[in-house]
Structure 1
Amino acid sequence: MQQKQFKLKANALFSLLGRPHPKALIEIPPKKDFATLELAILLALLLSADHLLETSSPAIMIVGKINLDGSIIPMPTLLDAPQAALSSGCKLLIAPPSQHPHTCDNVKIIHCSDIATALQQCRRFALKHEGESSIILEKGKPSPTSHPFTGIIGLEKAKKALVLSAAGGLNILLYGPPGVGKTLLLNTLEKLLPPLSETEIEEIARIRGEIPAKRPVLEIFPHMGEKDLHPGGSSFFHLVHKGVLIVDELTNQKERTLKTISFFLEKRKYDSYPVSFTLASAMNGCPCGNMGKEEELCTCTERQRERHWNKVGSALLDRFDICLSVLPENLMTVPLAYEDPDLLSTITEVWIKQQQRSELSYRKLLPLLSTSLQGRSLSMRASMSACKMAKLIADFEKRDVVTREDMVEALSYKTYGVDRHWR
């Protein structure tokens, strides 16, 4: 329905501007509010028709909603839009009329009352700054093309979980409604992985017959069957040794596939081949997909939710060191966090530290864990992974002693959908 309304509005506005109706295939994130994207899409189509998107000018951020007559709906404040433009490397911010003027260093902010004015400003900017695609950032900030979390605003808890997963080789499961960024986050994990050690390079080279340049990252899709996982007597899983196995839409995978994954996580070998990998997965929190959304109620019964999670199985769920809900966030109100330019080197340092630790160092933290559980019960495997995670959290804070706050934070990364009661 939203797509049809957008087409009608677009046709009316193109006619109002005296422009031909362009044809384009536009990929919209699922279940996004079209009203917040219409102005940006329309301006992009108009600039593309004038071949102005090919001028290699700096990026432009466009904020606002548009009426059928071409006017742009005023906004009382721009909130964090100027800072979001700056962190994304944008040099121009097209904004609606506002009661409060805004300024931002290195970002030009222009308030436009209608689409014709906004188009004129975008044209002028693209022609004036043709070929100036290089981005000037504030001193001390990382390059937006080099930082792993470039372009991902908000979701700070999930980002921290990915960092812990990369540094500690922790299996991670993200669950929540469609469109909140679970798949995007999973694909970011590859950028966070520490480099291979010499021993790991030798192991992978013996298995694959070639020297690897980086850690292997493979993905299992729902359509894959037994022949795909074990082709010609070999195994798909030994190819991801010392790397990351991504399994998106976990509840849509075949039951046999999930059991095979659980088997390799437990046995860690296939014939004479070692098989050790980090599992990164995502799934909806319930069958209808609305669990955790504020604007849409979940229509699933408790029994349906339990059946949904039972598809994964308690054995596989217990092997996820991190099980975290990812909820929708308003990108215009979420505070912008400073991205550490030394994040990758810190991850490598922490990874080296934890590689040198024995299981005994984690067992010594079990008394601290027992005082932090607050009535919760965990399996021995889950308890050890919580202790390991608490130690990792302390490592990132550059502390040798694990505090109760570290342990409580570690336990906050172990939330399961069947244990949560959503409104």
Structure 2
Amino acid sequence: MNIYAYQSHGYEGLAIRIQVTTSARGLTLLGLSQTQQREFRQKAASISTALGVPEPTGIVQVPPKSNLESLELAIILALRLSRDRLLPSGCPDIMIAGKLNLDGTIAPMPTLLAIPELAYTHHCRLLIAPTAARPYTYRALVIRHCADLEQALRQCRRFLLNHGGEQDVPASAQTPPSPPSHPFAEILGLEKAKRALQIVAAGGLNILLYGPPGGGKTLLLHTLASLMPPLTEEEKEEIARIRGTLPTSRPVIEVLPTMAEKQLFGSEPSLLNLAHGGILLVDELNRQKESTLKAITFFLEKRNCGSYPGRFILASAMNGCPCGNMGREEALCTCSEKQRQRHWSRIGSALLDRFDICLPILPENLMTLPLVQEEQDICANIRKVWLKQRQTDQQKYLKLLPLLDTCKQGKSLSMRCSISVCKIATIIAHFSNREVVDKEDMSEALSYKTYGIDRHWR
């Protein structure tokens, strides 16, 4: 069984697993400084004296960068239960929330926020929570409101003794599973953009979507995370070493134009390092600070910063011109050619060259769109192609350069772009269950390399 502590973190909160080992040689908290350990021992001794019980002993692994104040109650309860030999009982998991006072009381909370839902999704069957303004219930989760440490300990002991030897029942087994929603369920039309996102997810490519506001660029980019293949064990290990906690999904980090340089690079690991193995989402690319654009370009080139890796998918969106009307049928673009050139040159040719896919998104008339049957096993197909790409040698892309040279649009590309187009063509062939890339695949791959200064709108 597992004991989790609730730690407040933004709007949702985190579940921190408490790992305890029995020891009679005192209390050791791994992952904390000597000062933090001393302060915790003093608080634990003060509470034990007030309650008239022996001081807790054992070894506790504290995750790095954790808020110790949020974990104190769970740690002391876990140590007391471990001393009573109740932890290795094969019981369902328990989540403990609340902050412990020096007299052994638990600070009340006005509301439990998202704690019950978080406990339920982590397959916990019991939630020890502070007293609240009202009693809470949540599905099959047992919620016990406790005013002090001894009351919480009694509730845990009673639960463990009553459920000893039971198998942990996953949340998915308690209620009938709902069918997973299709990644593109909320997106009508934009078939080429959907196809581009599948190619990005399968190949780990960078993508830039541009066009007038309201076309669906941001919605498409936020859909990318649901298309990504699951993390490998190696990727989980790398992300855990950066973040200090084991990930359950690929990270998605959003960079806003209002972010200061200190927010992006003021710590180690930096915000861009935290996107390793996942997606760096940069909306309104043309409004980002110059230092931000240079840093992103640097990360895409070096793939690391200091001792931390920084390999991620860059997913960006921007308007096609300063006024935003370029490509819109019901409005006239008032930008001159120089203004458009300046608009795109602000991004920088070095960064633009690193976008494998650069695609315009134009508003579509939903009343005239043909009905298209969405592919049901889309994520399974993406994973299959993704696995093939991991085994594809770079030399295969180089061997496709002569085929690219037979296409008119491919003659003016840089070497980086040429290899990128060959990789996209290979992915397109793999989606069709073919190993051989033909000219149609190459032409389709080139169609994903269209910039806003190429006069393609009309």
- TM bucket (normalised to shorter chain) is 0.5 to 0.7
Q: Does 1:393 align with 2:428?
A: yes
Q: Does 1:363 find its partner at 2:398?
A: yes
For 2:456 and 2:224, the matched residues in 1 are separated by 29
Report if the CA contact (8 A) 2:269-2:308 is conserved.
Answer: no
Higher strand share: 2
**What is residue 213 of structure 2 aligned with on the other side?**
178
* 2:262 equivalent to 1:220: no
Amino acid at match of 1:255: E
Q: Structure 1 CA distance, aligned partners of 2:257 and 2:410? A: 37
> Structure 1 258/366 Cα, relative in aligned 2: closer, same or farther at 3 Å?
same
Distance 1:364 1:376, change over 3 A: closer
The answer for the alignment partner of 1:322 in structure 2 is 357
- How far apart, CA to CA, are the structure 1 residues paired with 2:384 and 2:438? 20
Instruction: State whether residues 281 and 316 of structure 2, in contact with CA within 8 Å, keep that contact through their aligned partners in structure 1.
Output: yes
Match for residue 318 of structure 2 among 269, 272, 283 = 283
CA distance in 1, matches of 2:368, 2:217: 20
Superposition deviation, residue 168 in structure 1: 0.4
Specify the code of the residue in structure 2 equivalent to 1:331.
L
Give % identity.
65
Q: Distance in 1 between the 2:388 and 2:195 partners?
A: 18
State whether structure 2 residue 317 is matched by structure 1 residue 311.
no
**How big is the shift at 1:206?**
1.3
Where do residues 248-263 of structure 1 align in structure 2 (5 Å cutoff)? 248-263=283-298
Equivalent residues, number? 281
The one of 136, 149, 164 equivalent to 2:184 is 149
Gaps of 5+ in 2: 1-177
| Pairing partner for 1:384 from 419, 422, 430 | 419
Structure 1 residue runs of 5 or longer lacking an equivalent are 1-141
The separation in 1 between residues aligned to 2:281 and 2:370, in whole angstroms, is 29
Kept in 2: contact 1:238–1:270 (CA 8 A): yes
**Number of the residue aligned with 1:410:** 445
Match of 2:196 among 152, 161, 165: 161
**One-letter code aligned to 1:405:** E
* Residue-by-residue CA offset, 1:343-371 (whole Å, 9 max, x unaligned): 00110111111011121011111111111
- Higher mean alpha-carbon deviation, 413-422 vs 190-199, is at 413-422
Which of 375, 379, 391 matches 1:340?
375
Alpha-carbon distance change, 374 to 324 in structure 1, aligned in 2, over 3 angstroms: closer
In structure 1, what is the Cα distance between the partners aligned to 2:327 and 2:456? 9
Give the residue type in structure 2 aligned to 1:353. K
Q: Counterpart amino acid of 1:247?
A: V
Alignment of 1:291-306 (within 5 A): 291-306=326-341
Paired position in structure 2 for 1:204: 239
Aligned mate of 1:229, from 257, 264, 283: 264
Shift of 1:373: 3.2
1:241-270 residue CA offsets vs partner (Å, 9 max, x unmatched): 010000000001001100100000000011
5 Å matches for 1:100-119?
none
User: How far apart, in 1, do the equivalents of 2:457 and 2:300 lie?
Assistant: 31
8 Å CA contact 2:283–2:318 kept in 1: the answer is yes
TM-score, normalised via structure 2 length: 0.60
The separation in 2 between residues aligned to 1:224 and 1:419, in whole angstroms, is 31
**What letter matches 1:413 in structure 2?**
Y
Letter in structure 1 aligned against 2:301: E
Q: Structure 1 counterpart of 2:363, which letter? A: P
Distance in 2 (alpha carbons) for counterparts of 1:348 and 1:208:
25
Alignment of 1:38-77 (within 5 A): none
Taking the aligned partners of 2:267 and 2:368, their CA distance within structure 1 comes to 53
Is residue 372 from structure 1 mapped to residue 407 from structure 2 by the alignment? yes
Give the conservation status (yes or no) of the 8 Å contact 2:404–2:410: no
Structure with bigger gyration radius = 2
Deviations 1:284-322 (A, max 9, x none): 000011101112111100000000001111000000000
One-letter identity of the residue aligned with 2:210? Y
8 Å contact kept, 1:171–1:319: yes
Contact 2:429/2:437 (CA < 8 Å) preserved in 1?
yes
How far is 1:203 from its partner? 1.1
TM-score (norm: length of structure 1): 0.65
Partner amino acid, structure 2, of 1:285 = G
8 A Cα contact 1:153 1:336, kept in partner = no
Per-residue displacement from partner, 1:134-176 (whole Å, max 9, x unpaired)? xxxxxxxx95x51100021100000000110011011000000
Equivalent residue letter for 1:325:
P
Aligned counterparts of 1:398 and 1:286: Cα–Cα separation in 2: 39
Alpha-carbon RMSD across the aligned residues, in angstroms, is: 1.3
